[in-house]
Amino acid sequence: MILGIISDTHDRLPAIDIALAFFKKQKVEMVLHCGDWKSLQTVRYFAEQANILSLPVRGVLGNNDLDVADFIEYALKAPGHFMLQENALEFEAGNVTGVIYHGHHKPTLRKIINEAVYSIILLGHTHKPLIEKTEQTLIVNPGSTAFSIPRSKQWVPTVAIINTDTLDAKIHYLK
């Protein structure tokens, strides 16, 4: 199964369009969002655009997603196959199990990584792309489609693609 990983969209709607079009072109079968959507408007927009492209979406909330109740309420009635929850979200994709967690609460992050019960751990928060393989786990942070930390004029939006059959991951720089 081909997964598209995105994080830290922070209300940048044009970058969401670019990322979703890229995922469709790459034949992504599921989009996983690692949090920090920022506003309910962005969650709505993402769900609607993903539905138009027939892309199922699973995601979590991040530390900048403050209207938790409104986000969750909308997700329950969002168009298409859209799922959003607070904290960590376990998922199955192809022959692997994984978890999505924004990564902002370090004790929870350490616990998820140290337990090593998942084939894939997806993170956001830092805005820094990362692919790391341990003996049992693939850890991926797709970076951000909104901005870099620290901020840089040379920064380019990033997403990741994972093939669950091979557990290969690649960071993609979007123009």
23 in Cβ contact with 77 (< 8 Å): no
Tokens at 80, concatenated: 């298409």
What is the C-alpha separation between 116 and 137, in angstroms, rounded? 7
What is the C-alpha separation between 99 and 121, in angstroms, rounded? 5
Categorize the per-residue pLDDT at 154 as very low, low, confident or very high, splitting at 50, 70 and 90: confident
Categorize the per-residue pLDDT at 153 as very low, low, confident or very high, splitting at 50, 70 and 90: confident
Mean pLDDT, residues 26-46 taken together: 98
Percent of the chain with pLDDT over 70: 100
pLDDT at 163: 98
What is the C-alpha separation between 137 and 153, in angstroms, rounded? 33
90-132 confidence digits (pLDDT tens) = 999 988 999 999 999 999 999 998 887 999 999 999 999 999 9
Taking the whole predicted model, whether its pTM rises above 0.85 is answered as: yes
Q: Is the pLDDT of residue 61 over 90?
A: yes
pLDDT at 82: 98
Closest CA to 42 of 22, 17, 25, 69: 17
pLDDT at 87: 93
Q: CB 157: neighbour CB atoms within 10 A?
A: 25
pLDDT at 4: 98
Tokens at 15, concatenated: 């970058």
Amino acid at 68: V
pLDDT at 58: 98
Residue, of 154 and 143, whose pLDDT is higher: 143
pLDDT at 27: 98
Alpha helices in the chain (DSSP H): 13-25, 40-52, 68-77, 106-115
Mean pLDDT, residues 3-7 taken together: 98
The CATH number given to 2-173 is 3.60.21.10
